[in-house]
Chain A
Amino acid sequence: MTTMTSNMPETDSRLDLQQLMRQKYRRRVIVGNVILAFVMAALVVALIPLLSIVISVIDRGSKVLSTAFLTQVQQDPFAFDPYAIGGIWNAIVGSLVMDGIAIGAAIPLGIFSGVILSDAKGKIGTTIHRIFDVMIGLPSILFGLFVFFVLLGPVFNNAYSGMAGVIALTLMSIPLIAVATESAISAVPPTLNEAGLALGALPSRVMWNIKLPAARPAILTGVLLALSRAVGETAPVLFVIGQSREANWNPAAEQSSLPTLTFQYLQGFFPSQREAAWGIALILMTVVFLVNLTSRIISARSQRG
């Protein structure tokens, strides 16, 4: 808070003093309002590029949407039939399979890691915790490179495989879920823990029956965030899954995914492919938006409750 400067002459009457104080107050308010205007303007500025992109995506993307687009697999058009691009069913299946397995694996692994992080003390424990914090912000391409260098040769025999993409996405999601779990656990009121211990429960019981259930909404938020990140990322899977045109429910086969197909199509040879890319982007954004909204509502509800 601003302090009043005490440079008032001793001989001022009380009326002058009040006038001075009112002036200073008014100036504070005016300056404050100007700054407030800028702050609200920032919100508008933040929304302008959003509007631009969303309008572009909806405008161009809605033109290509149709049931056929969603249910047929990808085809390659010819010069005399340049709109015969088929649909994106193969990418939908690929995304479903890979993201589903990746999150399915990342949830238990991530929660377990989060429990370990919350228990980790001492130099090594703190270092591991800090490194995990950094790994959340690590560029996603590094996970793709890791799978490519370390696993693609020995494990996958240098063949494209959806499982390679799954591993990259899982590794990318684990730190996110782990750190979310850990902060959720440490945010549990200590009274709950102490009550459990006072009743004679072992620390593992306290963890399993008290801390984790209390932390559940926050963990769920973390999981949904990790899911939306995994669904939308291109870089981790780009080098390792190939470009399958068939809808493979077998995750070990070559796959396509919604973001990689968008990437492919946006630089596609035919204009119809480049237009279709906006349609895929629209679908992708809608799905992830709904996931995010759900997580927001859940966390808002849990805060109230």
Chain B
Amino acid sequence: MKKNLRGSIGMAVAVLGLSASAVVPALAATAPTYTIDSTMVNDLTIKAANAPTADITMGGSSFVSNLLTPALAHYKAINTEKSVAAYDGTQGSTNGRKKVTGAATPALNVGFSDFPLENSGSDTFTYTVGSGLASNFAQLPVALGGVAITYNVPALNSSALQKLLAKNPLTLTGAQVGKIFAQKITKWNDASICATNKTLTVKVKVGNKTVTQCALPNETIHVVSRTAGSGTTYMFKDYLSKVDATDFASADSAVFAKTTGIDIPTVGNSAAMATQIDALDNSIGYVEYGFAAVTPGVNVASIVNASGVAVQPNATTVAAAAAAKTGFAMDTLAHRSLNNLTGKTVYPITGYSYAILLKEQSNRNNGITAVKVLDYLTHQGGAGTAGRPFTKAGTFGQDYAAVTGYVALPKSIQTLARNILLTVKDSNNAVLLNTSN
């Protein structure tokens, strides 16, 4: 009898032990821990021995140009050794992704793109280390921005109507925006648009009576699109796929295709979009929120968000959207998307722009510079956020956000960015982001 009990207890212990040895590492794999060096918060410098032989290159999306250019200039001023070249925003998001991939010496050290690498479409790659995108590339959010809907309706330019619009800007629901850009709603005085803008009325003489009617004219809506490959289009179409799934199946950066007899002109960037909207009567288009913030005379529509509140894009509403996102992760579009979140002050067309670099940096010094610069770019130093923070020590990249037409990354995203940077290693598997480097 004692023998049997001892045997069964021994069996039980063995089984427990075996299963524990399987379960515990599995648990550990799903919750990686990183040792975050707490002194890294104030680390801006690169040790002389680790400086690259030539400035490292960063380029790609134009969306982030206005943030990166002053931020990188400040970083270079601190590091009198070689560090980073001026940001090249002329290449576009597509080149930003393509030029980072490939062998040990990519054409760009860090690429910037409004949408991250996907293993599909024009982004299919063969990998050298491990399998799957995530094993080979570190992709992290670096800038937070939004898309503003801009329009030009000459009939609304009378001073009386301008006064009304100043109090209650032209408002569109998400579904209406979708239908407009799919050319299903074709006239400005469509019943649904007039219904959303009940205060926008004029008094018109019909026969002998004076009638109050919708101020929006009976004119065809001219949609203007960006050229193919635009990250702004991508962010916008992701939103449209959520509010008007029948017309927009998924997010992409293709031009808006026409579905009626009305052609859709394409323009190269936000400035060209503004010029075109200005010159074309009854037109509607979309620009980066930062552009609308710095350009006077751009009419921006209010969009009804998922909580039913009509909001204008501004720093507060865009930040609210970023804050409202739970469970952000880089792996899928659904996890990355900030569009159409619920919250009273949330602006519904919002998103991040990303930086991409190889996880295995064959050139150690280039790698150290790249991760340090990206760490600098994705954090706020907290030293002097009002006025001109640039000359103060401890100014980090995101301190420039508010003054360049962007919104600073939320703290959780800043930490996430650092976590991702900690996975970038050299060919000897040593982590590059380190205060001792």
Contacts and interface: CB of A to CB of B under 8 A. Distances in A.
Given A78-B404, A267-B271, 13 more contacts: A76-B73, A79-B294, A79-B403, A79-B404, A80-B403, A243-B88, A245-B86, A267-B269, A268-B271, A269-B66, A269-B271, A269-B290, A271-B294
Nearest to B90: A243
Interface string A122-143: 0000000000000000000000
Per CB-CB distance, the 8 closest pairs between chain A and chain B, nearest first, are A76-B69, A267-B271, A80-B403, A79-B405, A79-B294, A79-B404, A78-B403, A79-B403
Interface residues of A, number: 16
Interface string A182-208: 000000000000000000000000000
23 contacts: A76-B69, A76-B73, A78-B66, A78-B70, A78-B403, A78-B404, A79-B290, A79-B294, A79-B404, A82-B294, A158-B107, A242-B88, A243-B90, A245-B86, A267-B268, A267-B272, A268-B271, A269-B269, A269-B271, A269-B290, A269-B291, A269-B294, A271-B294
Contacts of B294: 79, 82, 269-271
Nearest to A264: B90
Interface of B: 65-66, 69-70, 73, 86, 88, 90, 107, 268-272, 290-291, 293-296, 400, 403-405
A266 B107 CA distance: 29
A101 B65 CA distance: 32
A76 B400 CA distance: 13
Counting chain A CB atoms within 10 Å of each CB, the highest count among B107, B270, B271 belongs to B271
Interface in A246-303: 266-271, 274
Contacts of B69: 76
A79 B268 CA distance: 22
A267 B275 CA distance: 9
A242 B91 CA distance: 10
Contacts of A268: 271
A20 B86 CA distance: 83
Q: A interface, by DSSP: helix, strand, loop or mixed?
A: loop
Contacts of B272: 267
A245 B400 CA distance: 20
A269 B404 CA distance: 11
Nearest to A80: B403
A78 B271 contact: no
A271 B275 CA distance: 11
Nearest to A267: B271
Nearest to A270: B294
A82 to B, nearest CB: 6
Contacts of A271: 294-296
Contact of B293 (A76, A79, A266, A267): A79
Contacts of B290: 79, 269
B388 to A, nearest CB: 8
B31 to A, nearest CB: 40
A15 to B, nearest CB: 66
A93 B261 CA distance: 49
Given A82-B294, A243-B90, A76 B66 contact: yes
A80 B403 CA distance: 6
Nearest to B87: A76
Nearest to A246: B86
B270 A76 contact: no
A271 to B, nearest CB: 6
Interface in A129-165: 158
Contacts of A267: 268-269, 271-272
Nearest to B291: A269
Contacts of A242: 88
A242 B272 CA distance: 21
Contacts of B293: 79
Contacts of B271: 266-269, 274
Contacts of A245: 86
Contacts of B88: 242-243
B353 to A, nearest CB: 15
Nearest to B65: A269
A152 to B, nearest CB: 12
B144 to A, nearest CB: 15
Contacts of B86: 245
Interface string A65-78: 00000000000101
Given A267-B272, A271-B294, A76 B70 contact: yes
Counting chain A CB atoms within 10 Å of each CB, the highest count among B268, B293, B404 belongs to B404
A17 B272 CA distance: 70
Given A76-B66, A78-B403, A269 B270 contact: yes
